[in-house]
Structure 1
Amino acid sequence: MPYSNLETRKFKNISIAELAFPAREGGYSKGHETREQILSAALHLLVEEGYGALTMRRIAAACGLRIGNLTYHFATREELIRALLDALIRAYEIEFDAILQFTDELPEERLAEVCGLILEDIRTKKTTHVFPELWALANHDRFVLERVQELYTRARRSLLDIVAEMRPDLDPQGRENLALFISASMEGLTVFAGYEKPFEGQMGELERIAIQSFLQIVKTYRRTQT
């Protein structure tokens, strides 16, 4: 049965957490709290002021820490940014995994859920400010490029799992093509219909168009062998 009633999505209007941290297993809990405080402060600077504000001194000041206390937890800026982006994508993975666990739903229902969650998240200030900045930086900074590629590879895993279920006849490259196309199509809406962008008010209808299109593409795609 085709999935067309997008208004019945179980995860509609659920917000993705800003960051998600691993469960605290032993160790000194104060240390975990401090690391989380540092990463939250770094995210706030990234959202409000951009990547250039992410200096160790600015982050330390935002946390009320001495620079030596900060480097005790994160020895380098690169280590801190890697942990920040890991916590950022982990928040998405938690929600995607929750959707994938609804195995009693049709795979097209789960695809609509995942895509709807991403498209709604695009309208947040965090997502609209952070991701386009990372895209631009990735053109000139090898470290950022590698982190961004890792981030999106992890984010596409849920799409790949659903596409594989919907299209077991496709080879791995065909499934990757579909997952990549869907991911790129959604991300592209950020600069047009994201937070305070010109078409933000039309995002609800754009979401419906996108999901209906993705469902149809996954069902009908035929890979051209080269």
Structure 2
Amino acid sequence: MKKLTLSSTAIFDPQTATSVRQRGNRESRVPEIIDVSVNVLIAVGYAGYTINRVANDAGIRLSTLQHYFSTREALLRATIEEIAKRYFERFRRFVENRNRSPQARLESIIDDPFADFVKPGLSAGIVESWGLALHESFARDVVVEAQKQFTRLFAQLVGEINPDLSMEERELRGALIVSSCQGLVIFLRWSEDDASRMHAFRRAVKVVWSGLGKADE
């Protein structure tokens, strides 16, 4: 049997390779390369990640990729920043949805991870980002900054639920929600609980988060 080669683009986004091959300016090409890079990181992990693999899956020469990202570190930094950005923008839409009450917005944020973190795909990129951050200072800087942004975002929502809280207390509770959400990334990915137990667990998380929002200082 002849050697069989599978690219990560075939798994995650069949259109990516075609689109990146098209000539374009920096504004169009850079996001396309980063998108392929995200897929590669998810497919092979940070240990197996190479810029050669990204160039191959993007359908471009290595020299072309290096015109935009000169090193593996530069591309990996942009990649994990993109993963954090996608989740931040996702949660920000929930937080800033003024058509729902602050409490309903908080509960919608809980519902989303229970649907997303159990799937293969982008959530694996979070775990890979954390693994990389254990060994590379540039990745740690990105992860720490993202954690601060999420803390401020959730603190904003806590303040809407309970405006009598001090800014310091809002930040503290925002950080507690972030830590819980980070734990869900791991727990939901490996959980073998059936649907009824998972539903009960989700209700319990809502009770805990609701308590963090409503409790007096």
TM-score tier, shorter chain, comes to 0.7 to 0.9
The reply to whether residue 220 of structure 1 matches residue 215 of structure 2 is: yes
Q: Secondary structure at the match of 2:121?
A: helix
Q: Read off the aligned partner of 1:167 and give its amino acid letter.
A: N
Q: Secondary structure at the match of 1:68?
A: helix
The reply to whether residue 198 of structure 1 matches residue 189 of structure 2 is: no
CA contact (8 A) 1:108 1:166 kept: yes
Per residue, is there more helix in 1 or in 2?
2
Name the structure 2 match of 1:124.
119
Q: Secondary structure at the match of 1:169?
A: coil
- Name whichever of 143-152 and 130-139 sits farther off: 130-139
Q: Secondary structure at the match of 2:88?
A: helix
**Is there any run of 5+ residues in structure 1 with no aligned partner, and where?**
1-17, 19-27
Q: What is the Cα-based RMSD across aligned positions, in Å? A: 2.5
Q: Secondary structure at the match of 2:146?
A: helix
CA distance in 1, matches of 2:193, 2:203: 14
Q: Read off the aligned partner of 2:154 and give its amino acid letter.
A: L
Matched-pair identity in %: 24
CA contact (8 A) 1:166 1:218 kept: yes
The reply to whether residue 94 of structure 1 matches residue 93 of structure 2 is: no
CA contact (8 A) 2:80 2:139 kept: no
The reply to whether residue 133 of structure 1 matches residue 145 of structure 2 is: no
Q: Read off the aligned partner of 1:118 and give its amino acid letter.
A: P
The reply to whether residue 34 of structure 1 matches residue 29 of structure 2 is: yes
**Residue 32 and residue 94 in structure 1: after superposition, are their counterparts in 2 closer, same or farther (change >3 A)?**
same
Name the structure 1 match of 2:167.
172
Cα deviation code 1:21-48 (max 9, x no counterpart):
xxxxxxx855434323321221112112
Name the structure 2 match of 1:13.
none
CA distance in 2, matches of 1:221, 1:137: 38
**Residue 172 and residue 82 in structure 1: after superposition, are their counterparts in 2 closer, same or farther (change >3 A)?**
same
CA distance in 1, matches of 2:181, 2:144: 16
Q: Read off the aligned partner of 2:146 and give its amino acid letter.
A: L
Q: Secondary structure at the match of 2:128?
A: helix
Give 1:186 deviation, angstroms.
Answer: 2.1
**Residue 136 and residue 95 in structure 1: after superposition, are their counterparts in 2 closer, same or farther (change >3 A)?**
closer
Q: Secondary structure at the match of 1:50?
A: helix
The reply to whether residue 45 of structure 1 matches residue 20 of structure 2 is: no
The reply to whether residue 109 of structure 1 matches residue 115 of structure 2 is: no
CA contact (8 A) 1:163 1:179 kept: yes
CA contact (8 A) 1:156 1:183 kept: yes
The reply to whether residue 81 of structure 1 matches residue 95 of structure 2 is: no
CA distance in 1, matches of 2:193, 2:184: 9
**Residue 143 and residue 193 in structure 1: after superposition, are their counterparts in 2 closer, same or farther (change >3 A)?**
same
